[in-house]
C-alpha cells in the first residue's frame, strides 16, 4: 500500500467538526504545510488539540485566526491574542490542561488505558468536577484518556513505509499523538532509503498517510 | 535599584549545586543560567525535550528544529539529550528534577503560588508550571518583591492556584525568604533595604531573627 499522498487526497480527509491533534511546541515541530492545507480546506467547527495556540501567523494559530476552531485543548494560549479574544467573545471554547497531564492523557489513550492518576492540579481549579483518589496517603486526580479523529505529525525522516524519526526539540508531542488518533498523517522533511531500526522512534504501522519527503537526504 | 533582574538571578544561582538537574522558567528565572558558579556543573532541563540546554543560538547557529521553552532558537551543550514530551514530564513529575525556578503573580504563607491566570483579564495558561512545582525536589520562586507597589507575597493567594504548598524559597530584589511549616522566614535582605521596608512591602507575616545581607 502506498501511503504517500498529495494535497488533493489530504483535503478529502479533512471534515467539519473533526478533532485534530497537532504536534509542536510553540510551533517548533508543527507541520506547517498540513496546517496551511487545513486552512485551505475551509472546514469548520474543528476541535484542535495542541500544546499551545501557536502564533496568529504560525502553527495552529492560523486555524484560530481563520475562525475554523470551535474548541481548543491546550496548556498555553498566551502567544496568540486571537485565542484569548475569541475565548472572551465566547466563540472559542478553551480547555486549559497542565502540559504533563495533556501529554499523558494522549499517551494513555494510545496505550489502551482509561486514564491516569496525577498529583498535578490537586487543590487548584483543575480539580473541579474530577474524582480525587487517595493512594498511600497522597491525593491524585483521575484524568481521563482521550484520542482524536486525526493526528498531524511533523517528522524529520521517513522510509517508504513510514518508519519515522524526529529532529531535536521538534519531536515533542509528535510521537505521542501518532499513537492516539484514528488517522495519523505525517509530514516528512526527508524521505530516505533506510532507517536504522535502532533509531526509529515511531514504527510505520502507526502511520496511515505520508506527505512531503521532497528534501530527501 | 536598576538591576533588579540581575540581583534576583545572581542570588538564585547561589542555590545551585554541582550535578543538579534544573528547569528554569521563562523571564527572570532564565537569567539564572548566566550566573551558574564556575566550579559547578549544572544540567538544564527544558520541558520541550532537552537535558543540556545551552545559550540562545547566534545567527550562524540557528536551527529551526532547536528551540528553548520560550520558542527562541537555542543550542544544546555537549553530552546533551533530546526526548519527547511524555518523557520530559516523566522527568519533571517523577521527582527527577533537583530544582525548578519560576516567576509568579502571587505566593503565600503556605507556600502556595498563583501564576497562570487572572480571571477575566489575562489567561495565558499554565503550560508546564503546575507539573514543575509539583514534581521538582526544590521550588524557588524568583520574582520582583511587589507588582507596581502592590504586595505579591501574601497571606493567602487571591488568584487561582498553580499549586498548593509547594514553594521552598522566595528570592526577590529585596529579600530571601524560606518557606517553612510555621510560615515565611526572612533570612536575607538587600544591604540597602531595611527589614521595616521589606515588612511594609509584604502582606504575609514574616518571621525573622538574624537577617543576613544578600551578596549583590
Q: Tell me the ipTM for this assembly.
A: 0.97
Q: Cell 497531564: give the residue.
A: A101
**Residue A175 sits at the chain B interface (C-beta within 8 Å):** yes
Q: Cell 543540556: give the residue.
A: B52
pLDDT of A216 > 60? The answer is: no
**Residue B215 sits at the chain A interface (C-beta within 8 Å):** no
Residue B216 pLDDT level (bands cut at 50, 70, 90): confident
Residue B124 pLDDT level (bands cut at 50, 70, 90): very high
Phi and psi at residue B146, to the nearest 5°: -130, 165
List chain A residues with CB under 8 Å of B82. Answer: 168-169, 171
**Residue A180 sits at the chain B interface (C-beta within 8 Å):** no
Partner-chain contact A103 B123, CB within 8 Å: no
Closest Cβ opposite residue A170 in set B47, B65, B83: B65
pLDDT of B14 > 50? The answer is: yes
Q: How many CA atoms lie within 13 A of B72 on its CB side?
A: 13
Per the annotation, the verdict on B47 as an active-site residue is yes
Please state, rounded to an integer, the average pLDDT across all residues of chain B: 97
Hey, where are the domains in chain A? 7-98+147-212
Q: Which residues contact B209 (CB under 8 A, 6 or more apart)?
A: none
The answer to whether the beta carbons of residues B183 and B149 sit under 8 Å apart is no
Largest CA distance in chain B: 53
Q: What's the CATH number of domain A7-98+147-212, 3.40.640.10, 1.10.10.60, 3.40.1080.10, 3.40.50.620?
A: 3.40.1080.10
pLDDT of B191 > 70? The answer is: yes
Q: What is the Cα gyration radius of chain A?
A: 18
Q: Of these residues, B47, B106, B173, B188, which one is catalytic? A: B47
B187 or A215, higher pLDDT: B187
For residues B152-169, average pLDDT = 98
pTM over 0.95: yes
Q: What is the pLDDT of residue A186?
A: 98
Measure the CA–CA gap between B73 and B64, rounded to whole angstroms.
Answer: 7
**Residue A186 sits at the chain B interface (C-beta within 8 Å):** no
Closest Cβ opposite residue A173 in set B65, B85, B123: B85
Q: Does an H or E element contain A12, and which?
A: helix A7-13
Q: What is the pLDDT of residue B40?
A: 94
pLDDT of B194 > 70? The answer is: yes
Q: Which of residues 21-80 of A touch B (CB under 8 A)?
A: 25-29, 51-52, 74-79
Q: Where are the beta strands (DSSP E) in A18-102?
A: 19-22, 46-49, 69-74, 93-96
Residue A28 pLDDT level (bands cut at 50, 70, 90): very high
Measure the CA–CA gap between B94 and A100, rounded to whole angstroms.
Answer: 11
Measure the CA–CA gap between B77 and B87, rounded to whole angstroms.
Answer: 19
pLDDT in tens, A149-161: 999 999 999 999 9
Partner-chain contact B84 A75, CB within 8 Å: no
Residue A215 pLDDT level (bands cut at 50, 70, 90): low
Hey, where are the domains in chain B? 4-213
Which residues share a beta bridge with B164? none
Q: What is the pLDDT of residue B45?
A: 98
Q: What is the pLDDT of residue A214?
A: 81
Asked if the B4-213 domain carries CATH number 3.40.1080.10, the reply is: yes
Q: What is the pLDDT of residue A217?
A: 42
Q: Which residues contact B88 (CB under 8 A, 6 or more apart)?
A: B45, B46, B47, B48, B49
pLDDT in tens, A59-98: 999 999 999 999 999 999 999 999 999 999 999 999 999 9
Amino acid at each position: 500500500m502506498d501511503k504517500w499522498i498529495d494535497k488533493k487526497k489530504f483535503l478529502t480527509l479533512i471534515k467539519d467538526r473533526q478533532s485534530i491533534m497537532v504536534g509542536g511546541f510553540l510551533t517548533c515541530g508543527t507541520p506547517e504545510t498540513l496546517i496551511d492545507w487545513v486552512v485551505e480546506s475551509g472546514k469548520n467547527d474543528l476541535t484542535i488539540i495542541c500544546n499551545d495556540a501557536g502564533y496568529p501567523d504560525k502553527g495552529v494559530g492560523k486555524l484560530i485566526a481563520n475562525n475554523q476552531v470551535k474548541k481548543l485543548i491546550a496548556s498555553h494560549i498566551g502567544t496568540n491574542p486571537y485565542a484569548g479574544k475569541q475565548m472572551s467573545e465566547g466563540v472559542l471554547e478553551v480547555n486549559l490542561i497542565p502540559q504533563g497531564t495533556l501529554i499523558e492523557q494522549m499517551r494513555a489513550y494510545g496505550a489502551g488505558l482509561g486514564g491516569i492518576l496525577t498529583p498535578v492540579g490537586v487543590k487548584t481549579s483543575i480539580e473541579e468536577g474530577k474524582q480525587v483518589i487517595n493512594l498511600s496517603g497522597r491525593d491524585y486526580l483521575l484524568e481521563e484518556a482521550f484520542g482524536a479523529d486525526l493526528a498531524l505529525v511533523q517528522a524529520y525522516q521517513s522510509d517508504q513505509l513510514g518508519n519515522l524519526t524526529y529532529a531535536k526539540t521538534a519531536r515533542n508531542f509528535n510521537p505521542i499523538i501518532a499513537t492516539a488518533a484514528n488517522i495519523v498523517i505525517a509530514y516528512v522533511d526527508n524521505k530516505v532509503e533506510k532507517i536504522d531500526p535502532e533509531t526509529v522512534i515511531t514504527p510505520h504501522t502507526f502511520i496511515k498517510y505520508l506527505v512531503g519527503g521532497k528534501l530527501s537526504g | 535599584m536598576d538591576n533588579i533582574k540581575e540581583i534576583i538571578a545572581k542570588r538564585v544561582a547561589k542555590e545551585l549545586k554541582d550535578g543538579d538537574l534544573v528547569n528554569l522558567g521563562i523571564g527572570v528565572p532564565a537569567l539564572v543560567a548566566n550566573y551558574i558558579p564556575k566550579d559547578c556543573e549544572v544540567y538544564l532541563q527544558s520541558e520541550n525535550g532537552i537535558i543540556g540546554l545551552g545559550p540562545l543560538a547566534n545567527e550562524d547557529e540557528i536551527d529551526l528544529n532547536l528551540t528553548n521553552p520560550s520558542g527562541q532558537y537555542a543550542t544544546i551543550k555537549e553530552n546533551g539529550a533530546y526526548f519527547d514530551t511524555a518523557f520530559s514530564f516523566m522527568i519533571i513529575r517523577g521527582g527527577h528534577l533537583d530544582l525548578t525556578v519560576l516567576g509568579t503573580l502571587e505566593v503565600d504563607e503556605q507556600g502556595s503560588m498563583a501564576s497562570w491566570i487572572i480571571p477575566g483579564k489575562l489567561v495565558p495558561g499554565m503550560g508546564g508550571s503546575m507539573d514543575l512545582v509539583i514534581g521538582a525536589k526544590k521550588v524557588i520562586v524568583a520574582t520582583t518583591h511587589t507588582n507596581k507597589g502592590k504586595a505579591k507575597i501574601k497571606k493567602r493567594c487571591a488568584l487561582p492556584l498553580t499549586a498548593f504548598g509547594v514553594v521552598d524559597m522566595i528570592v526577590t530584589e529585596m529579600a530571601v525568604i524560606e518557606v517553612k511549616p510555621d510560615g515565611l522566614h526572612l533570612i536575607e535582605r538587600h544591604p540597602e533595604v531595611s527589614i521595616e521596608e521589606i515588612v511594609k512591602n509584604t502582606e504575609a507575616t514574616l518571621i525573622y531573627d538574624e537577617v543576613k545581607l544578600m551578596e549583590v
